[in-house]
Amino acid sequence: MNLAEQHTITAEQGLCALREGELPALLASLKGWQVDGGLLSKTLRFADYYQTSAFVSAVVWLAHQADHHPEICFGYRECRIQLSTHAVDGLSMNDFILAARIDRLQQD
């Protein structure tokens, strides 16, 4: 299953929270993400501030296209991204789709 190619949906379109048993298979399809405290998160490291901020800007663009709003903290050589879906008060497929798209950014 190629998560990055799937389409995100809204709660009105039937989006629902994932069950705990669904998470391991979805996590296995991502690179370096973890679920902690109900959030899907990853910390990424870069060579310098410019590369970090450019990557964060690309993530913001991806998130905007998916109508998703991750928590992003970044500094000189590192950023931390945390995903959850407020509309379902937990993790949804949209979080994993956006995470896969973020992973794909690192490959480009």
Q: Which CATH architecture has domain 36-108?
A: 2-Layer Sandwich (3.30)
* Per-residue pLDDT tens digits for 2-48: 889 888 887 778 789 999 999 999 999 999 999 999 999 999 999 99
pTM score: 0.92
CB 30 within 8 A of CB 100: yes
Q: Are strands 39-45 and 71-74 parallel, antiparallel or unpaired?
A: unpaired
pLDDT of 76 reads 94
Distance CA 7, CA 52 (A): 27
Distance CA 41, CA 102 (A): 11
**3-class DSSP state for residue 7?**
coil
**3-class DSSP state for residue 30?**
coil
Domain boundaries, the chain: 36-108
pLDDT of 13 reads 83
